[in-house]
Amino acid sequence: MRKGLLPLLMAGICFCFTAVTLAEVKLNPFFSDSMVLPRGVPCPVWGTASPGERVSIEYNGQKLSGAADEQGRWKLTLKAMPGSTAPMTLKIFVGNSPKLLVRDVVVGDIWLIFGQSLLQTPLKDIPEATEEIKTSLTPRIRLFSIESGPAVSPSGELNGKWKECTPKNAADFSAIGYFFAHSLQNGISVPVGIIECPRPAVPTESWIREETLRSSPALQPLLAEWVRELKKYPDAMRVYPDLLREWEQAKEAGNEKNPAPPQPRGPEHPARPGNFFNSVLAPFFQYSPKGLIWVQDSSSLSALDYTLLPLLIKDCRSAAKQESLPFLYVQLPACGTAQKNPIETLEQNRLPLFRELQEFLSKTLPSIGMAPSLDLGESPNRKEIGKRLAQLALAKVYEREGILSPPVFSSATLDGSKLRLSFESTGSGLSSTDQQLKVKGFAIAGKDKKFIWADAVIDGRSQVIVSSPLVKEPVAVYYDWGASPLGTLCSFEKLPALPFRLDKIPTPAAAPEKKAEAPAPPPPIKIEKKPEAPPAAAPLVEKKAELAPAPAPIAEKAAAANPPAAVAQEAPVKAPEKKAEAVPATAPAAEDKKADEPPAKPAEKAPAAPAIIPVAEKKAEPTPPPPPAAEKPKPPTPVLLFGPKR
């Protein structure tokens, strides 16, 4: 009996040894047929094998070899390659035998588009789906849908599969993602890999590392709340199945009066801070992306998002180890019923405040861009959103010239009872989306701070004259400032003007006072300088130099927008000095030009400041919609104004 068992035992040991020795070599799931490898950067390829086993890879003339570590992990890095539309095969060898083949691999740019429910609409569900799907066969576009759920710790794998852009595959892909990739590929000569990850109802904090969230004092209550929830989780889970069963029974009987009981918030809950960073962003940043696109819904906006959006950008760039990683986003769409009153409730006001933050970040941080959406309604046209994002990428990331941007307010001057508003980036000129070309969406207020709708008329290519017979002296002007505003101002190219608010109108009223002081000093100066005519002119200049400190508060209030040279130049005549605050509006010419330049360049930040300056002035005075802090670089005050915490 024992003699018969011994051969069987030895055979079993040999079989197990052979199984371990010949363990299957595996690739990370991201490496699959029809994939896109990133161009212009080193490209790591990795997977698993038996500990110590030699693994080799071959692609595009490069051959690399290495051994798996003690945990069976191996990683080999291909040298940077230029973009290529020629499909090739990535080969993985063990010894001299090819064990894995990844076919139809191209080299190009990889973009991740992630966010909430607006992104979830597939191509097949849009009105123009039939025609678009028929023409969607584009071998240079590759699609990847992330299937990963939330994770408590950072994952090393991005679950999903690459697919070529065919009618069948495109039909189920995000419509915004498809149109972005399609429009972008038409403007560049390399393949585009677009990776989608729509996660409806997942809050922003779930996409940010927990340690990054801890660095913000404003987010400590949120984190403390989660600590309490996790402590209650074991007890809650013991009760939850019974509650759910009772609700389902009531539903079947038609007696349910309340919604289904919410699932207890445990460690793997989708809304838990950091969980989708761990499962999606952590593994994705190993692939050297070309850029990111963030899509946020209006309906789920909370007070925390005012703090979270800048943190999301910062954390993504830190995790990707790219300080200027391009980060594009969609302007917060319209939400709710159409605006009726010039100034809405505090709750409705939170949306325009957040849009103001979005524009502020796009002007002050490098490689940030915002695609306008307010003119597209509450359920915006996905095709137009995708095309605008692609145009933004071509201008901001690929430095294409001739890409137009939406009109942006630059300055205001008071002309009697009328306001003359100047705009930058007006393209071929200002126009209106209204069928009768009426310009709507402007509201003004007098000294009583009561806002009313104003009449607006386009004057020339870049100016709008705003007035109302009910306001003799306007002191503030708002445009498109509401949850679902009705503004119609746009460029001839149909790009909508961005919303803005100005709570303090520059007026020449103070100028006559300073002019009155100037004539008084000359007599004593003339006595010192004697009656010579030429010296008489000099004292005026000198005296003006003494008076120069007077304009200093204006310069300070404008956040030092006017350089000393400009102040000195305007000193002889005080009236134009108020226009000096609008001098930066000449910079827009540079901004129009720079829209096609890489935003990371220092020159880009300078032109952005003028559009923000008027907001800084207006924030000094409280108005119906409480303004952010007077300090322009950080407008955090609105975070206290809108919405309850999550």
Q: Tokens at residue 326, please?
A: 């391009």
State residue 281's pLDDT score: 98
Half-sphere exposure of 392 (CA within 13 A, CB side): 26
Helix (H, G, I), strand (E, B) or coil at 453: strand
DSSP letter (8 states) at residue 122: B
Region 140-159: what's the mean pLDDT?
A: 95
Percent of the chain with pLDDT strictly greater than 70: 74
> 98: pLDDT confidence band, cut at 50, 70 and 90?
confident
Cα 33–38–44 angle (5° rounding)? 80
- The encoded tokens of residue 267 equal 């460690």
Q: What is the pLDDT at residue 484?
A: 94
* pLDDT tens per residue across span 387-441: 999 999 999 999 999 899 999 999 999 999 999 999 999 999 999 999 999 999 9
List residues bridging with 544 in a β-sheet: none
* pLDDT confidence of residue 284: 96
Residue 622 has pLDDT above 70, yes or no: no
H or E segment and range at residue 479: strand 476-479
- Section 38-65 average pLDDT: 96
Amino acid identity, residue 321? K
Report pLDDT for 4: 54
> In this predicted structure, which of 59-73, 151-165, 333-347, 506-520 has the lowest mean pLDDT?
506-520
What pLDDT is recorded for position 339? 93
Check pLDDT > 50 for residue 102.
yes
All residues at 6 or more sequence positions from 75 whose CB lies less than 8 Å from its CB, including other chains: 44, 45, 46, 66
Q: How confident is the model at residue 348 (pLDDT cuts 50, 70, 90)?
A: confident
Distance CA(466)–CA(487), nearest Å, equals 14
Query: What is the residue-averaged pLDDT of the chain?
Result: 81
Residue 91: what pLDDT?
96
411: closest CA among 512, 551, 511, 561? 561
Quick one: pLDDT at residue 338? 92
What residue ranges do the domains of the chain occupy?
Answer: 408-507+585-619
Query: pLDDT digit string (tens) for 458-480?
Result: 999 999 999 999 999 999 999 99
The 8-class DSSP code of residue 586 comes to G
- The pLDDT confidence band at residue 507, using thresholds 50, 70 and 90, is low
- Token couple for 539: 């004292």
Residue 560 confidence (pLDDT): 38
- Per-residue pLDDT at 607: 39
pLDDT digits (tens, 9 = 90+) for 226-266: 999 999 999 888 888 888 888 788 778 777 677 888 878 89
β-sheet bridge partners, residue 295? 115
**What three-state secondary structure class fits 347?**
helix
Element (H, E) at 294: strand 291-295
**Beta bridge partner(s), residue 294:** 114, 329
Asked if residue 303 lies in contact with residue 350, where contact means CB atoms within 8 angstroms, the answer is yes
335 burial class (0-12, 13-18, 19+ CB within 10 angstroms)? middle
Distance CA 398, CA 400 (A): 6
pLDDT at res. 291: 98
pLDDT tens readout for residues 508-519: 654 444 444 444
Q: In this structure, which amino acid lies at residue 428?
A: S
Tell me: the pLDDT tens digits for 8-43?
Answer: 455 554 444 433 444 689 999 999 999 999 999 999
Q: How far apart are CA 233 and CA 109, in angstroms?
A: 43
Residue 5 has pLDDT above 70, yes or no: no
pTM: 0.76
Q: What is the CA radius of gyration of the chain?
A: 31
Question: Residue 69 above 70 pLDDT?
Answer: yes
Q: For the range 252-258, what are the long-range contacts, defined as Cβ-Cβ under 8 Å and sequence gap of 24 or more?
A: none
Helix (H, G, I), strand (E, B) or coil at 162: strand
Q: What's the residue count for the chain?
A: 646
Instruction: Of 42-56, 499-513, 567-581, give the range with the top mean pLDDT.
Output: 42-56
Q: Give the N- to C-terminal CA distance of the chain in Å, as an integer.
A: 71
In a 10 Å sphere around its CB, with 0-12 CB exposed, 13-18 middle and 19+ buried, how is residue 520 labelled? Answer: exposed
Residue 76 pairs with which residues in a beta bridge?
A: 45
- Phi, then psi, of 126 in degrees rounded to 5: -90, 160
625 pLDDT higher than 80 = no
* Angle CA 398–120–291, to nearest 5: 20
pLDDT at 627: 44
Give the CB-side neighbour count of residue 561, counting CA atoms within 13 A.
Answer: 29
Cβ proximity of 135 and 383 under 8 Å: no
Between 11 and 351, the higher pLDDT residue: 351
Task: Answer whether 474's CB lies under 8 Å from 446's CB.
Answer: yes
More confident residue, 168 or 581: 168
Q: Please report the pLDDT score of residue 259 as a whole number.
A: 80
DSSP state of 174: B
pLDDT of residue 256: 66
Q: Are the C-beta atoms of residues 123 and 305 closer than 8 Å to each other?
A: no
Q: How far apart are CA 637 and CA 628, in angstroms?
A: 4
Is a pLDDT exceeding 80 seen at residue 1? no
Task: State which amino acid sits at residue 427.
Answer: G
In 3D, which of 445, 448, 449 has the Cα closest to residue 467?
445
Query: 2 vs 570, which has greater pLDDT?
Result: 2
Residue among 221, 127, 122, 218 nearest 174 (CA): 122
Q: What tokens does 441 get?
A: 């969406």
* Mean of pLDDT values over 440-446: 97
> Helices in 571-633 by DSSP H: which ranges?
577-580, 588-594, 602-619
pLDDT at 222 over 50: yes
Q: How many alpha carbons fall within 13 Å on the CB side of residue 100?
A: 22
Give the C-alpha separation, 113 to 31, whole Å. Answer: 19
